[in-house]
């Protein structure tokens, strides 16, 4: 498969918004209305490219098939007491794969490729939360090597916290 994973450009925003919204619509079709039904906007997605964040795009040839967003600022739903104490964590706050491309390894590919971005930041941990219900991706993150760190309810939504820590070792092995 001819995949690439790069930082998103301004020109990528409309496609990324479309992918996120189609993925949300697909989840809503499968599991009913929920927090996963949220439809994003171009303005909101542009905001995700500012400051200490990276909006990344997975492309098959030149077609965007998935996106992922990393930030240094802790999201509201994250309780840091559940995680390993590190100085420089990153947070994965959004990931989507176009429904036509799901179950083809794109999500796993993005999570593997994001490691190089974590190393270049540098950060010692990548943290995320996933819905703890059928619409959630908890089992997917486990299969990709993330460790469960806790379960909480945030705004009536059960969440699972996940973390990956091997980035510090990877940074040291490069030096």
96: CATH: 3.40.630.30
User: Which tokens hold the place of 152?
Assistant: 């909480």
Write out pLDDT tens, residues 93-139: 999 999 999 999 999 999 999 998 888 888 999 999 999 999 999 99
Residue 155, Ramachandran bin (φ over 0: left; ψ between -120 and 50: alpha; else beta)? left
Mean pLDDT value across the chain: 91
pTM: 0.90
Domain span at residue 42?
3-174
Instruction: Please enumerate, as own/partner, the contacts of 13-18 that have beta carbons within 8 Å and a separation of 24 or more.
Output: 13/42, 13/45, 13/46, 13/49, 14/42, 15/57, 15/63, 15/64, 16/45, 16/55, 16/57, 16/64, 16/67, 16/96, 17/41, 17/42, 17/45
- The pLDDT of residue 174 is 43
User: Which tokens hold the place of 85?
Assistant: 């104490």
How many domains does the structure of the chain reveal? 1
Residue among 110, 120, 11, 118 nearest 58 (CA): 110
pLDDT in tens, the chain (175 residues): 689 999 999 999 999 999 999 999 999 999 999 889 999 999 999 988 887 899 999 999 999 999 999 999 999 889 999 999 999 999 999 999 999 999 999 999 999 999 988 888 889 999 999 999 999 999 999 999 999 999 999 888 899 999 999 665 544 544 4
Helix axes 106-120, 167-174, angle to 10 degrees: 60
- The pLDDT of residue 170 is 45
Q: Is the peptide bond before 122 cis (omega within 30 degrees of 0)?
A: yes
Distance (Å, rounded) from C-alpha 173 to C-alpha 95?
28
DSSP assignments along 49-72, one per residue: TSSSEEEEEEEETTEEEEEEEEES
């Amino acid at each position: 498969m001819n995949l690439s994973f790069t930082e998103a450009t301004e020109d990528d925003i409309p496609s990324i918004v479309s992918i996120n919204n189609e993925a949300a619509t697909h989840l809503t079709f499968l599991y009913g209305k929920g927090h996963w039904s949220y439809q994003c906007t171009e303005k909101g997605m542009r905001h995700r490219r500012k400051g200490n964040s990276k909006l990344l795009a997975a492309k098959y040839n030149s077609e965007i098939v998935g996106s992922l967003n990393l930030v240094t600022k802790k999201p509201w739903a994250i309780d840091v007491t559940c995680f390993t104490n590190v100085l420089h964590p990153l947070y994965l706050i959004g990931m989507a794969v176009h429904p036509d491309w799901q179950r083809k390894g794109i999500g796993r590919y993005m999570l593997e490729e994001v490691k190089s971005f974590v190393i270049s930041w540098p950060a010692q941990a990548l943290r995320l939360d996933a819905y703890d219900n059928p619409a959630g991706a908890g089992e997917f993150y486990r299969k990709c090597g993330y460790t469960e760190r806790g379960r909480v309810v945030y705004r009536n939504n059960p969440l699972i916290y996940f973390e990956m820590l091997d980035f510090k070792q990877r940074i040291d092995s490069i030096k």
